[in-house]
Structure 1
Amino acid sequence: MTGTGRLVRLILRRDRVLLPLWVVPLALIPALYVSSFEALFPTDAERIGYARVSAGNAGFVALYGPLHGTGLGELVAWRGGFIPVLVALFSALTVIRHTRTDEEAGRTELIGAAAVSRHAGLFAALLVAFGANAVLALIQAPAMISQGLPVTGSVLMALEFALAGCMFAAVAAVCAQLAGGARSARSLALVALGIAYVLRLAGDVSDIGDGATGWLSWLSPIGWVQHMFPYGADVWWPIVPAVGLGAVLVGTAAFLAAHRDVGAGVLPDRPGPAVAAPGLRSPLALAWRLHRGMLIGWVTGFALLGLVFGAVAQSVADLVGDSPELADVFARLGGASGAVDSYLAGVTGILGLIAAAYAVQALLRVRDEEGAGSAELVLTTGASRLRWLAAHLVFAFLGPVLALAVSGAVAGLVHGLASGDVGGEVTVVLGGVLAQVPAVWVLAAVAVGLFGLLPRFAPVAWGAVAACLLVLLVGAALQLSQWVLDLSPFTHIPHLPGGHATATPFVVLTLIAVVVGAAGLAGFRRRDVPTT
């Protein structure tokens, strides 16, 4: 395939920072769970009791997947059950970035003018994604073995993660051919990943009940890899359908790429009306038209997350009541109430980071509008620069607040219905979730600052989100210095519910967001438009 090797080197150079940011942490996080479980459950009786109760707990099965076994390795593999979803997500985004995004920006057409095969860009992106997942597996397996876990199970768990990433890299390759733009391709890939996760969830939860719809799990690629059960049954045969699906999807993507025009998708774009509606006479109305699909999608996703997290919250309390052996363990967290508060505080941090990702994505839509020339057209009318940008900032700053509010309300409602205190739980959980808003605004302001002052580096805002995620997931486990932990704005948010809150961190973080955001606005007001 002429030019594939050179394009692979080009992609590796462009992603020399982004690839390690997700490959290395996701590979090493499961190894950190080993010491965590050993510290929390120092005796075999405590560990076995926890495993037996968790295996039949619908909330935990929905979040992490099925648990078959009581060994330390089986618990670690089960606890890392959501990580393959993250690996799949990053793999899909990597492929779309170097296929449809490059095509939309005109780079593919420019490169295609040289001696490069038509499919070279597609296969280069896939090779990089597959290679990243191979590196992830090569890092993860030795890391798990170094923790004293069996070699066979460690290799199988590494393959579980890598296969999930490779399958959805192939899914993304097909989505890149179907969609007419990078944004649509990402949406299709996210929908496919969401459907796979929901099918897995529905099937596995059914299996701990009457099993009537347990077969749904086998319709999901995520379900296939999670049923490999490392360190326990060590089931190898799901590798066959996973590899087969990947091969079929890669072949499909190549076929579709050969039968469509460069810059166009297989699915035709829906033509808009010949005359704009009267409501599109202001920058805010235009911003609403551009952001409404993204806003609805994110709010819906947050509602589903609230549903799952709310169900798991009651499951934490049930663990204490159902297992006397675990009562002493959770007593260290303050009993059942303290354990639930600790869990909810952790969940609110995760929701805050996800909301920050939404804020960055919404803000980078402004950069896309500028790069495509749409901003320049709008600014030729009576709209000022600040008015145009402020219209988009409404969605970048208030959209995450709405998403967090919906998630917190749903989680509190579900947990309240199970515990019998709807009003109290909704208030407590909603307050804890909304406490993340100032930290979210800081990361959104960083994106604004980069867009206004260093527009070429605006995508670096994703690096800030990734750094905060790394601090949240492994900062305490790695015993990082406090000054490193303090770099994340989420470190300064009080642990709510259950913690003590003061106004100082909220005020300081909000002021930081205002100052950084104002600097970005000032920079945008003075620089050239567009900046390539």
Structure 2
Amino acid sequence: MTGVRHLIRLILRRDRVLLPLWVLILAALPAVYAASFAELTPTEESRLLYARTTAGIPSIEAMLGPVYGHSVEALATQRAGLTLLIVALINVLVVIRHTRAEEDAGRRELVAATVVGRHAPLAAALIVAACADLVIGLLTAAFLGFSGGSLLLGMSVASAGIVFAAVGAVAAQLTENAGPARGLALAALGVAYLVRAAGDATGSDLSWASPLAWSQYTKAFAGDDWRPLLASLGLTAVLAVAAGWLSVRRDVGGGLLPTRLGPAGSTSLTGPFALAWRLQRGLLIGWSTGFLVFGLAFGGATSGAAEAFRDNAELAELFARLGGGASLTDTFIATLFGIAAIAAAAYGIQAASRMRAEESAMRAEPVLATATARVPWALGHVVFAVIGPVVALFMIGVGLGLSFGADVGDMGQVPRLIGAALAQAPAAATLTGLTVALFGLLPRLSAVAWGILAICLLLGQIGALLQLSEAVLDLSPFTHTPRLPGGEVTALPLVVLALVAVALTAAGLWGFRRRDVGV
């Protein structure tokens, strides 16, 4: 453990801007939700009716989690169910960034050559992530008045982040590169979310298999049960010990999962596009399968939302404020597609970032030393970064259409929902184009694309609730996509977003053609 203190200082210095920003924003979200519910449901009767109604809608409980009380804070706690997902995601990315990504860049080996213990880098990353989570928890409690319930809610959010920081630490030991490590950790997070959603939607004990559910079963502001956090602490300890044990049983720069070698001679790698397909196919198959499963899981529970709110105009208006759209069923589906659009953009950013990863690992330079030109090499990855999110959105449209259509007895919903899902593609392509532009023009700032995606996510989460001005909301490309199904379709915003994506991509390719490789 020698050198942990110095490595912690190094991590804090590198993340001195983004980390405090994330902490403040995520800690403020539950308070924002509480203020919004206080405005939208001013009377105890309206809050009680909302709580009773949403408690009987499987689709809403699947998306947000169960509701245990009808106070403003209890309703905000349910709404903060998606905050747990965001906190867990950030912890995965932070830990892998400061462990496996450091090995990919060769910096870990340089650090290891100094007076630094073998466990120090992993321990430093986990300590920073855990401390940031605890600060989020304490600030969450402070923003909500620092009561017993607010402190429990804050610690519940923190525990979800700490658990998945340990998940990211384990994933970092298994693969040879940061990309596959992120894929493994994000797959674990996706499975945890789906297990929690399936259990809450069916009212079964299946949810107890998900660490995300443990944070919600503390029943903050409605019983205050601290015991589920013991399970989170226990799993964190097991995973952290496992990560440390695994880290000393592999070489620096290596992974424990065997890397399958290709044939000595291959006729399939005939050009840059074939190489990109070889590198991107696992990502494409994984994301597309996940989107299909997500659509199938939520489609069957969607029709219940309209039935529950049909006879209550006040609650129907409230849910429309929270989600937008025309009918309540279409509102809920549009909300799901809005979340899917953010996820599809994350896929596009990850696929486009593969170019920077190949360049940083010095695998691009030997390829470009052959007859392969820069632009065709980059275009191979760009094609998958643009088409991949479209395929993923198509798959969620198919899954949701099949499941929802079978539930309502109308399979005509399939093409309708496919079209609604694909309407989100131009916004996702805009962030993909931004990633390509950063790679070509400002390669050292390529990671900024993830920060911009986070801003778009937060605007989508709290923009309508805070009634932010249109000028602020318009900063997100997802604001300009139609709220489908049920909303009006205007071609101009979609065309403009597509043109912006093309322009950004072209600028990135132009910049990559003219700059030095490896800068």
Distance in 1 separating the partners of 2:25 and 2:299:
27
Q: Which residue number corresponds to residue 252 of structure 1?
A: 242
Q: Which moved further from structure 2: 470-479 or 503-512?
A: 470-479
Aligned match of 1:313 in 284, 299, 302?
A: 302
Give the conservation status (yes or no) of the 8 Å contact 2:104–2:361. no
C-alpha change, 1:426 and 1:37, in structure 2 (3 Å) is farther
Q: Which residue number corresponds to residue 198 of structure 1?
A: 194
Q: Which residue number corresponds to residue 55 of structure 2?
A: 55
Aligned match of 1:170 in 166, 184, 187?
A: 166
Give the conservation status (yes or no) of the 8 Å contact 1:446–1:517. yes
Distance in 2 separating the partners of 1:179 and 1:48:
49
Q: Which moved further from structure 2: 352-361 or 488-497?
A: 488-497
| Letter matched to residue 316 of structure 2 | F
Distance in 2 separating the partners of 1:159 and 1:342:
32
Q: Which residue number corresponds to residue 490 of structure 2?
A: 502
Query: What SS does the aligned partner of 1:386 have?
Result: helix
What is the CA deviation profile of residues 394-432 of structure 1, one whole-angstrom value per residue up to 9, with x for unaligned ones? 101111111111112222332233333331x33433222
Q: Which moved further from structure 2: 191-200 or 376-385?
A: 191-200
Q: Which moved further from structure 2: 334-343 or 34-43?
A: 334-343
Aligned match of 2:509 in 508, 515, 521?
A: 521
What stretches of structure 2 of length at least 5 have no aligned partner? none
Distance in 1 separating the partners of 2:229 and 2:383:
46
Q: Which residue number corresponds to residue 212 of structure 2?
A: 222
Q: Superposition pairs for residues 20-31 of structure 1, below 5 Å?
A: 20-31=20-31
Q: Which moved further from structure 2: 431-440 or 34-43?
A: 34-43
Q: Which residue number corresponds to residue 281 of structure 1?
A: 270
Distance in 1 separating the partners of 2:124 and 2:515:
36
Q: Which residue number corresponds to residue 183 of structure 1?
A: 179
Q: Which moved further from structure 2: 56-65 or 165-174?
A: 56-65
Q: Which residue number corresponds to residue 107 of structure 2?
A: 107
Q: Which residue number corresponds to residue 477 of structure 1?
A: 465
Query: What SS does the aligned partner of 1:115 have?
Result: coil
Normalised to the residue count of structure 1, the TM-score between the two structures is 0.91
| Letter matched to residue 436 of structure 2 | V
Give the conservation status (yes or no) of the 8 Å contact 1:60–1:315. no
Distance in 2 separating the partners of 1:410 and 1:445:
27
Give the conservation status (yes or no) of the 8 Å contact 2:198–2:297. no
Query: What SS does the aligned partner of 1:116 have?
Result: coil
Q: Which residue number corresponds to residue 86 of structure 1?
A: 86
Q: What do you get for the CA RMSD once the two structures are aligned?
A: 2.2
Aligned residues: 516
| Letter matched to residue 31 of structure 2 | A
Query: What SS does the aligned partner of 1:229 have?
Result: coil
Give the conservation status (yes or no) of the 8 Å contact 1:62–1:308. no
Give the conservation status (yes or no) of the 8 Å contact 1:40–1:329. no
What displacement does 1:142 show? Answer: 1.4
Q: Superposition pairs for residues 304-453 of structure 1, below 5 Å?
A: 304-321=293-310, 324=311, 326-330=312-316, 338-423=327-412, 425-453=413-441
Distance in 2 separating the partners of 1:388 and 1:68:
54
Q: Which residue number corresponds to residue 134 of structure 1?
A: 134
| Letter matched to residue 99 of structure 1 | T
Aligned match of 2:151 in 155, 162, 165?
A: 155
Query: What SS does the aligned partner of 2:305 have?
Result: helix
Distance in 1 separating the partners of 2:82 and 2:32:
15
| Letter matched to residue 70 of structure 1 | H
Give the conservation status (yes or no) of the 8 Å contact 2:393–2:422. yes
Distance in 2 separating the partners of 1:297 and 1:367:
21
Give the conservation status (yes or no) of the 8 Å contact 1:397–1:441. yes
| Letter matched to residue 4 of structure 1 | V
Give the conservation status (yes or no) of the 8 Å contact 2:347–2:389. yes
Give the conservation status (yes or no) of the 8 Å contact 1:447–1:458. yes
Distance in 2 separating the partners of 1:438 and 1:31:
33
Give the conservation status (yes or no) of the 8 Å contact 2:325–2:483. no
Distance in 2 separating the partners of 1:174 and 1:199:
20
What is the CA deviation profile of residues 310-341 of structure 1, one whole-angstrom value per residue up to 9, with x for unaligned ones? 345323212124xx4x3443268599962233
Does residue 467 in structure 1 map to residue 463 in structure 2? Answer: no
| Letter matched to residue 508 of structure 1 | V
Give the conservation status (yes or no) of the 8 Å contact 1:167–1:245. yes
Give the conservation status (yes or no) of the 8 Å contact 1:21–1:466. no
C-alpha change, 1:516 and 1:180, in structure 2 (3 Å) is closer
Give the conservation status (yes or no) of the 8 Å contact 1:225–1:238. yes
Distance in 1 separating the partners of 2:87 and 2:257:
27
Does residue 77 in structure 1 map to residue 39 in structure 2? Answer: no
Q: Which moved further from structure 2: 375-384 or 385-394?
A: 375-384
C-alpha change, 1:340 and 1:21, in structure 2 (3 Å) is farther
What is the CA deviation profile of residues 440-461 of structure 1, one whole-angstrom value per residue up to 9, with x for unaligned ones? 1211111111111111111111
Give the conservation status (yes or no) of the 8 Å contact 1:316–1:336. no
Distance in 2 separating the partners of 1:70 and 1:463:
35
What is the CA deviation profile of residues 478-518 of structure 1, one whole-angstrom value per residue up to 9, with x for unaligned ones? 34343222221122223223332222112222222222211
C-alpha change, 1:194 and 1:509, in structure 2 (3 Å) is closer
What stretches of structure 1 of length at least 5 have no aligned partner? none
